[in-house]
Amino acid sequence: MADLLWILKRLKPYMHLVVLSLLGSLLQSVGAAGVTLLVKGMVDEVFILKDQEKLATTVLLLLGSAFVMQVGFFTSRYLLAVSSEATLRGIREDIFKKLLFVPHTFFIKHPTGDLISRVVSDVDKVRSILTEHLPVLLREPVVAVALFFVLLYRDPLLTLILIVLLPPMVLMVRYFGGKKGKHMKRAQESTAQLTQVLSQSFRGIDNLKVFMAESRVMKQFSEWSKRVFRSSVKIELYVTGNTALNYLFGYTAVAGVLLYGGYSIVKGYLSPGDFVSYLTALFMLQPHLISSQRAFMGLKGSLPVVSRIREILLLKEERSGTLRFPGLREMVEFRNVRVSVDGKEVLRDVNLVLFRGERVGIVGHTGSGKSTLVKLIPRLVEYEGEILVDGTDLKEFDLRSLRERIGMSTQENFLINGTIRENLLIAKPDATERELREALSLAVCDFVDDLDLQVGEGGRSLSGGERQRIALARIFLKDPEIVILDEATSALDANTEKRVLRNIFEFFEGRTVIVVAHRLSNVTECDRIVVMKEGRVVEEGSFYLLVEKRGEFYRIFKGVL
């Protein structure tokens, strides 16, 4: 019930269209009732008494009623479709917006395929609720009620007998709807896993081919595909079973009505016109009842998917402070900082000071916590302890104002499926042509002749080094106060890397530059090097001081030395 109320609440801004749609349903019901009532006169006065004058009048009235009925149908269906699609658009946009502003760690815990499934597949199921099930439930029962009163007017006793068939139909709806809902949820969960396998496979297609892992991935895909198949078949079983039983009930009711009506006409209790009018109303009522029952069953079966969407929309967004970040004046101080992800301690008891205008290199073995440490500065990762910026806790600052002054480039570059120009404008939407060209030059993007060159999905038309240089060009374009390079030049050759780093250090002279690196060449020009091991800062100092110390830094790079 909570899920249904949530959907109705989402429809609230378009309630005026819903009300007009209901008026259309009333118009449709008036037309349908008129058709059934006019049938009596056609049979008794035209067919039996052969009244020619009555023929033309009745036919015109029948056409008028049919026109009214179809105008009502069009109004009801179209306006509900408009309100439903508008609501669906809002839900889709709200989910994506929510995912854009949840904490970075959320994406570590949740597979990409599952999130894509919720935005695409789950929302598509809500589409069936808004554009199919709810419109039917708002339209068909109104027409059914009007036709029911016609039946009651023509023969109250027979109509009351037919009502006895309603309880079994209600029980069928509950049973089949519940079964469909259970398997619908399973199908969505399996589809999410299927999407995850697809996403991973297409991203790493090169590795799949080289390691000849196609059969293993295909086995995973087939397993989840079988689960989707089984759930989908079960859903279809309950849907078609319910439909078959509905028609069986309908045929049984019609057989009983024919028996009763034939006997009444023979005995003279009922005129042929009354009986044909009753039959017409009954035949017109049945499709509306079946549609209503099927829509109710579909609604009940689809509602569990709504809970998956609501889970996303109820997620807590990143916590933002209220103070505007004025920029770094003196230093950033880490005091007993700890970070845990899924119960695993990634950083522990980190104590470190980063000074304004300093070039700091951060080194350590894979898994030592280097990337997590630098992600704390733009607050991409939640932490315990204190991180003070000129004496003010980092959490006190407004996130947007903080990130406006930070530039970050990582080993995994984000490139949209667009042109080089569009990818650069992410950093500075109002950048001029000259600024774009200058940024590309500083990032040594000598391969770029045309700013409107398409880079493909994820920049696939570019090499790894070219993608990294486009990402670095964004840093120059943004011109931030704090620059964070997390393995940002790992795909560049030694000569190009040297040119890029020289440009970075010269362009950002006097500003804080933090370089996370494995290569020795990346940190030799740094004022200070921070060495990490197992989530802790174990050493810090100048390059030559650390080499002479013969500690962890020396052990990391002794092969190079």
The domain that holds 547 is classified in CATH as 3.40.50.300
Number of separate domains in the chain: 2
Alpha helices in 204-269 (DSSP H): 205-210, 214-267
Alpha-carbon span 156 to 7, nearest angstrom: 38
Domain identity same for 309 and 336 = no
Q: Give residue 498's domain range.
A: 331-557
Q: Of the candidates 423, 530, 507, which has an alpha carbon nearest to the alpha carbon of residue 468?
A: 423
Q: Of the candidates 474, 560, 428, which has an alpha carbon nearest to the alpha carbon of residue 485?
A: 474
Domain identity same for 254 and 295 = yes
Written in H, E and C, the secondary structure of 531-547 is: EEECCEEEEEECHHHHH
Domain identity same for 431 and 468 = yes
Contact (Cβ atoms closer than 8 angstroms) between residue 29 and residue 143: yes
**387 in a structural domain:** yes
How many Cβ atoms from other residues are within 10 Å of residue 40's Cβ? 20
For the chain, first and last CA: distance in Å?
69
**372 in a structural domain:** yes
User: What pLDDT does 100 receive?
Assistant: 84
Contact (Cβ atoms closer than 8 angstroms) between residue 428 and residue 435: yes
Domain identity same for 159 and 254 = yes
Alpha-carbon span 100 to 410, nearest angstrom: 18
How many Cβ atoms from other residues are within 10 Å of residue 384's Cβ? 11
Q: Which residues, given as ranges, of the chain have pLDDT below 70?
A: 1, 40-52, 161-162, 164-166, 169-170, 173, 177, 200, 202-212, 247, 250-251, 254, 257-258, 261, 270, 273-275, 278-279, 559-561
**295 in a structural domain:** yes
Of all helices (H) and strands (E), which one includes residue 409?
A: strand 406-410
Domain identity same for 258 and 373 = no
User: What pLDDT does 161 receive?
Assistant: 65
Domain identity same for 260 and 365 = no
**185 in a structural domain:** yes
Alpha-carbon span 189 to 118, nearest angstrom: 9
Domain identity same for 359 and 282 = no
**324 in a structural domain:** no
**501 in a structural domain:** yes
Residue 89 zone, left/alpha/beta (φ > 0; ψ -120 to 50; rest)? alpha
**326 in a structural domain:** no
Domain identity same for 439 and 338 = yes
Domain identity same for 383 and 445 = yes
Residue 381 phi, psi (nearest 5): -130, 135
Alpha-carbon span 475 to 10, nearest angstrom: 41
Domain identity same for 280 and 337 = no
Domain identity same for 215 and 269 = yes
User: What pLDDT does 47 receive?
Assistant: 62
User: What pLDDT does 284 receive?
Assistant: 73
Q: What amino acid is encoded at 142 in this protein?
A: V
The domain that holds 302 is classified in CATH as 1.20.1560.10
Alpha-carbon span 31 to 284, nearest angstrom: 12
User: What pLDDT does 40 receive?
Assistant: 66
Q: To the nearest 10°, the Cα dihedral for 396, 402, 407, 408?
A: 40
Domain identity same for 335 and 301 = no
**323 in a structural domain:** no
